[in-house]
Structures are given as structure tokens and as C-alpha cells.
Structure 1
Amino acid sequence: MPAASGNGKSGTSGKKGVTCQGSNTKTVAAPLNRPVNHMLLTVTNTGSSICYLYGYPAVRFGEAQSVPPVIEDSKPQAVVTLAPGESGYSSVNLSAADGSGTNGHTEKSLAVYFQGRTPDEDVPSAAHPSLPAKGAYIDDSLKVTYWQQSMDNAISW
């Protein structure tokens, strides 16, 4: 039987998908010029089977004690599915563009934690993407989007 083509999943049929996490992905955090005060998280599946990006990234800048809230309106209709080599995206709103955010400061480190299919699934491996040398300026308006299949969807929030 010939391999399927065009669906991005050729060669992965019959393999059970796994939860995306730090150990089977590469995560890059890149500042965006537009929208202003945003960062794009790009997660690329480096494993040999499909992985699923559930929910949204739990980002932790520096020694933060809590994770920022998600933008509920950004919830996609389906779980983001990444074949080997494919990428998924989330946008991080770092600070208020109008300066209305409080407790603004610069952080030099970032950890990205992944969610499981169910709340009790343990996803042990976080990602630790590099931030720009000058760090990332954040304030209390910090928010993230749900994982998105396309970069355009991620940066539309």
C-alpha cells in the first residue's frame, strides 16, 4: 500500500501518538515586532511519532509562583497534532501595549510546561528556551494563547 501524501502524516500510521513535552520537542521563544510586546513560542516535534499539544503552555518567567492566564477566545476547535518535524505555536502577550500593566520587570529565564490529555496526566519534561540577551519585559497583563496549528492563528491574539 503506498504511503499517504499531502496530509503531513505519511509514515506515522499505526503509531500511537504521545503527549508533546520538553523531551520530544524543541521549543523556541522569539520576540515579535507585531503585535507589539508579544513573543511567539514555536514547538517542533523532534520525536519519531505524532505528539499532541494539549491546552496551552504553562509559562514561567524567572521564579514566578503562578502561571499566566490563557486567552479563552483563542481555544482551537481541535487538539494541535504534530507529525514528526511539524510545529505548533502559542503567542505570549508579555505586557500591556498602552503601559497600563503593573509590576513591570525584565526576566532572563523561561520554562515552558506542557499539559497532558487529562488534568492528572504527569508531563515531567519542561522546555527551557533561551530568551533574548536583554531578557523579556513582562507585567501583570501577561497572558498566553492556547496552542495553535498555525503561526497566523497564534499571533492574531
Structure 2
Amino acid sequence: MRTVRASWRSHALGVAAVAALLATAACDSGGADDARPSAAPTVPSTPSAAATPTAPAPSASPSPTATAAGTSSGPGTVACNDNDLSIATSVWRQDSGQHLLITATNFTDKACTLYHYPYVGFGAAIDGPIDAMGSAPKAIATIGPKEKAYAGLFLYRGSERTIAVEAVSIGYQDRALNSNKESSMLDVALSKEIGFLNVGTNARVTYWNRDLRAVEDLLFRSGNN
């Protein structure tokens, strides 16, 4: 009986030891799971300096759309010349013949600028260029393909002597005022419906303008008639 009791006791101790080991293993496994950090909620991070948009540093060179003269230097500011333009002349139906409209149309595929006012003469009859009238418009007359710009001529006062002319001579300026003044002007035949013009000694021309109404206002409301 002593042997049997010892065997049972040994068996009981063995079972208890196994159970203790299993419990210890389970506790160790659960403890590891509890100690492992869970996925934390995502918090937006503060933008880094590299990701934050910043204003470009100021350039030492002038802006591509401005010059010291205050005119645009971007695409399309090359001065127009005879090779870029078709010129038409016309008069107003109810006018007394004291005014002439010059319409310049760009027939190329690139923009160009009609700077200041046209140089105007009247063939061999009257030397040019005649003086400008009015003030320069706020915007320069840059015209793209098929676009138009206008200049108006005041030809004579009602009481002064005139000379009949059959052609108008036109020249073009560059960026600088009064540039190309020594260049020869090209004669432009008058439209058939005009025939000839009466020109006095005080003939003047407006600045180029893309706004026809502005040219008309200057011609007919300036007190020249």
C-alpha cells in the first residue's frame, strides 16, 4: 500500500505540474498579446517645409510683360511693317470729306504691334509725315492674325485752301517714339469710291487704336471741324 500511495502521489504531482506549465504558457501568451501595441488612429501630420507651397523668389530680371518704357515685351510686340499689313482707306458717308479712316489688317499668322501713330504723307503733293493729334491710347495696338487697328486723318478746315491728292503715303514706327522717321513711306492708293482727297496745311493723324469708336470720337468731337 505504501508503494501504491507513493505512485498515486507521484502521478498527482505530475498532473499538477503539467497543469501548472499549461497555465503558465497560457498566461505568457496572453501577456504578450496584451503588451503588443494596437494600431493607433492615424493623426494628420504637420506639413513639412518641403511640402508647403512657397512663393517663388523674386527675380532680378524684369518681368517678361513689362519694360522700362511701360510697353509689353511679350509675344506679338514686334513692330508691324509693310510685309505684315493690308491697308484700306474709307470715308464716312455723311462727312464733308474732311476726314479719312485708315484700316490696317494683319494678314500674317503672327501678331505684331502698330506703335504710336502712322507716318502719313500724300505722295509727291504734300511731304510728310504730318503731326499727330490727340494723346496716346492706354493700350498699344497689338493685332493678331486677321485683326485690325485704325488711325484717322483730319484733312482740312472748312475755310482753308486745299490741294487735291490721289494717294496716301504711310510709314510705321518702332517701340521708340519718332523712330524710323527717315525710312521711306509706301504709297497706298485710295479706294475707288474716294477718288481723291482735299488736304490742307493743318492735316493731322490720330494714334493707332484697336477701338474704332475711340478714333471717331477724337476726329468728330475734338473741335477740328
Scaled to the shorter chain, the TM-score interval is 0.7 to 0.9
TM-score using structure 1 length: 0.78
| Match in the other structure for 1:129 | 188
2:95 is the counterpart of 1:26: no
AA at the equivalent of 1:29 = T
2:133 alignment partner AA = I
Structure 2: runs of 5 or more not aligned: 1-73, 219-225
For residues 133 and 93 of structure 2, the distance between their equivalents in structure 1, rounded to whole angstroms, comes to: 20
Greater share of residues in strand? 1
User: What is the deviation of 1:116?
Assistant: 0.6
Q: 1:108 to 1:120 in 2, by over 3 A?
A: closer
Residue 50 of structure 1 corresponds to 111
Q: State the partner residue of 2:41.
A: none
Larger radius of gyration: 2
Greater per-residue helix proportion: 2
Aligned length in residues: 140
State the partner residue of 1:108. 166
**Bigger RCO of structures 1 and 2 (CA < 8 A, at least 6 apart):** 1
Amino acid of the structure 2 residue aligned with 1:54: Y
* Distance in 1 separating the partners of 2:95 and 2:206: 13
The residue number in structure 2 matching 1:6 is none
**Matched residues in 2 for 1:66 and 1:15: separation?**
31
Q: CA RMSD in A?
A: 2.3
Q: Distance in 2 between matches of 1:135 and 1:120?
A: 28
Q: What runs of 5+ residues in structure 1 fail to find an aligned partner? A: 1-13
Write out the 4+ residue segments of structure 1 that deviate beyond 3 Å after TM superposition. 14-17, 119-128
Counterpart of 1:111 in structure 2: which amino acid? S
Q: Secondary structure of the equivalent of 2:215? A: helix
How far apart are 1:126 and its partner, in Å? 4.7
What's the secondary structure of 1:111's corresponding residue?
A: strand
Residue 214 of structure 2 aligns to a residue whose secondary structure is: helix
With normalisation by structure 2, the TM-score equals 0.56
TM-aligned CA deviation for residue 17 of structure 1: 3.5
- 1:81-129: per-residue Cα shift (whole Å, max 9, x none)? 1011100001101111xx2323x11001111111111258549685533
Structure-2 change in CA distance of 1:114 and 1:137 (3 Å): same
CA distance in 2, matches of 1:49, 1:25: 11
- Which residue does the alignment assign to 2:62? none
Give distance in 1, aligned partners of 2:206 and 2:123.
Answer: 20
Percent pairwise identity: 24
